[in-house]
């Protein structure tokens, strides 16, 4: 059987629609342009001889349809055809699957497929459908159900975007040219495998000459050396991503990267002035702050931390300085008491040094500064000062009333040398054994003193200035009462002496003891004897131990019991 090329179709007739809007052309493959397949033979008269292979004419691969079709008419997709179709309308074509009957419709007689809607490849890239051919008269299938794909062909209808923008980045100040700061990545919803619709090129719209961007990778780098945070800290860099490899007509999108220069220690501390003055009253307490000084540092955080020190010996001997971490001030404290009358001024050489140094920027140093602080000591009306911290005096007991015990002295430490008056603080002791002359400070007795009753007296003397009685000083005074021999010995006679009848002559029957309330230096050495005027009992004798605090009674030949003595048998 012979058929002309205009009327004879092979078992497979596929009309493909290739439209590329970006190039401004649409193509259908007409029948007279169909390439002769391997199962056809071209004859000398131009006709072809078809070699039939059963069922090969009902195998479909895919059709193409351009996305975003605009126009009032439906878009032609392709054509289904069965070799059983003689063109008399006896074949009915059926389409089923994704979008069949809604998005895609088929002419049941001709097999032409059209798209009724504008398709979006980014929403759905392809549709799977099934084709069938039936005999219209008998409703019997002429071909088995065949699956094919309609692929939505991409056009450049999506601009690059930065979904996560805007961005925040940071880079140390003073960084070298080419230091990497941040990398941005744009996304393009177009088909990356087809043409240049999704091929993105980066450029910088805002941020020059400080920063640059790699057109391929989107890496942002520093483009200017020695950018100083203290001069400018924040930069808003705008990056554009353009598809179609950046060519004219490509779509673009942009984003902002907010770049902050982070601090490094590139600034030394500086005192606002070189000379300072400070007034400190001489009454300032040791260990307490008396003033403060501050050096400025334009850096931040640890880079601005300053350690203060007093570098001259005169100042360091009297004062100390420590850093307040919150305010970064140098707090000056007193180490020793001030005395206006001895020294009225002090000069302090104060140095402020950065605690954390960066060797990379050592060439910008030295990272320290010095200032001079002159301290003027203020004169304060001070209370009187006693010549001693405490006084110890003594007086003999039984001294006459009004006897002088001792004297205290105090002076006004101020230059005006005000007269001082003295008082005894009687609030501590109700008994008034002493008084004091308010002008001379001489202490005298007001009562008889008994050492055996109270050997020590503790009193407090108060001194005040005549010109300012509210300024008081106190000093403790201890008075020792010295002993005199004013107490007789006392013999212990609490027990009676019992003498056994078997006692031998010369046997000690009792040892007598005595005590004396006076001091050891004036007492405790006794002599014992029988009292005169009392009849002597010849049966007993008394032996004096010559000051060894006791004496002994001896039995002299007779046995008896003598009352007044006690003795164990």
pLDDT in tens, 521-544: 655 566 777 777 777 777 777 777
Q: What is the DSSP letter of 244?
A: G
Per-residue pLDDT, 418: 86
Decide: 357 and 269 in contact? Cβ < 8 Å: no
Per-residue pLDDT, 112: 92
Distance CA 279, CA 343 (A): 13
- Residue 13 CB contacts under 8 Å (≥ 6 apart), including other chains: 31, 34, 57, 79, 81
Per-residue pLDDT, 541: 78
Distance CA 249, CA 230 (A): 43
Q: Which residues is 62 bridged to in the sheet? A: 149
- Residue 71 CB contacts under 8 Å (≥ 6 apart), including other chains: none
Per-residue pLDDT, 10: 27
**Could you say which residues of the chain have pLDDT below 70?**
1-61, 429-430, 494-495, 520-526, 545-569
Per-residue pLDDT, 566: 36
C-alpha 308 chain-centroid distance? 22
Per-residue pLDDT, 531: 77
Tell me the DSSP string of 463-492: EEESS-TT-EEEEEEEEEEEP-S----EE-
Distance CA 55, CA 412 (A): 133
Per-residue pLDDT, 428: 72
How buried is 498 (Cβ within 10 angstroms: 0-12 exposed, 13-18 middle, 19+ buried)? middle
Decide: 344 and 376 in contact? Cβ < 8 Å: yes
Distance CA 331, CA 320 (A): 8
Per-residue pLDDT, 556: 56
245 three-class SS? helix
């Amino acid at each position: 059987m012979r058929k002309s090329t205009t009327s004879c179709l092979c078992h497979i007739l596929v009309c493909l629609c290739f439209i590329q809007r970006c190039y401004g052309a649409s193509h259908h493959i007409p029948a007279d342009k169909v390439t002769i397949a391997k199962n056809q033979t071209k004859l000398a008269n131009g006709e072809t001889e078809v070699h039939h292979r059963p069922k090969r004419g009902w195998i479909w691969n895919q059709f193409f349809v351009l996305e975003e079709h605009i126009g009032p008419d439906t878009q032609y997709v392709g054509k289904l055809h069965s070799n059983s179709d003689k063109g008399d309308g006896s074949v009915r074509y059926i389409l089923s699957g994704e979008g069949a009957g809604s998005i895609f419709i088929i002419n049941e007689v001709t097999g032409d497929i059209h798209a009724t809607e504008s398709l979006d490849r980014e929403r759905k890239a392809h549709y799977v459908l099934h084709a069938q051919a039936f005999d219209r008269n008998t409703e019997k299938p002429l071909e088995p159900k065949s699956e094919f794909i309609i692929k939505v062909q991409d056009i450049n209808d999506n601009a690059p975007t930065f979904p996560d923008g805007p961005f925040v980045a940071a880079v140390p100040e003073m960084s070298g040219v080419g230091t990497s700061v941040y990398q941005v990545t744009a996304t393009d919803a177009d088909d990356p495998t087809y043409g240049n619709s999704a091929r993105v090129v980066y450029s910088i719209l805002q941020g020059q000459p400080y920063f640059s961007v790699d057109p391929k990778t989107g890496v942002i780098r520093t483009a200017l050396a020695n950018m100083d945070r203290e001069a400018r800290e924040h930069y808003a860099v705008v990056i554009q991503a353009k598809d179609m490899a950046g060519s004219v007509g490509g779509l673009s999108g942009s984003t902002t990267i907010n770049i902050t220069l982070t601090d490094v220690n590139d600034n030394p501390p500086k005192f606002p002035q070189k000379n300072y003055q400070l007034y400190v009253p001489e009454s300032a307490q040791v260990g307490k702050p008396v003033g403060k000084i501050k050096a400025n540092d334009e850096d931040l955080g640890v880079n601005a931390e300053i350690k203060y020190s007093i570098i001259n010996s005169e100042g360091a001997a009297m004062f100390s300085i420590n850093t307040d971490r919150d305010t970064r001030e140098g707090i000056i404290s007193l180490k020793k008491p001030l005395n206006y009358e001895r020294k009225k001024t002090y000069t302090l050489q104060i140095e402020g040094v950065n605690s954390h140094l960066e060797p990379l920027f050592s060439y910008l140093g030295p990272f320290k500064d010095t200032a001079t602080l002159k301290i003027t000591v203020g004169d304060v009306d001070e209370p009187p000062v006693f010549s001693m911290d405490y006084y110890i005096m003594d007086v003999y007991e039984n001294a006459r009333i009004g006897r002088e015990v001792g004297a205290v002295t105090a002076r006004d430490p101020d230059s005006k040398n005000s007269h001082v008056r003295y008082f005894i603080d009687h609030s501590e002791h109700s008994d008034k054994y002493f008084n004091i002359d308010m002008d001379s400070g001489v202490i005298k007795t007001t009562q008889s003193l008994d050492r055996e009753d109270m050997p020590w007296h503790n009193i407090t003397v108060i001194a005040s200035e005549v010109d300012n009685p509210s300024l008081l000083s106190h000093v403790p005074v201890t008075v020792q009462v010295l002993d005199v021999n004013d107490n007789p010995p006392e013999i212990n006679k609490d027990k009676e002496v019992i003498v056994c009848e078997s006692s031998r002559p010369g046997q000690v029957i009792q040892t007598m003891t005595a005590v004396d309330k006076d001091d050891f230096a004036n007492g405790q050495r006794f002599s014992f004897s029988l009292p005169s005027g009392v009849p002597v009992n010849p049966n007993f004798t008394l032996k004096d131990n010559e000051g060894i605090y006791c004496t002994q009674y001896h039995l002299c030949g007779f046995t008896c019991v003598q009352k007044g003595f006690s003795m164990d048998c």
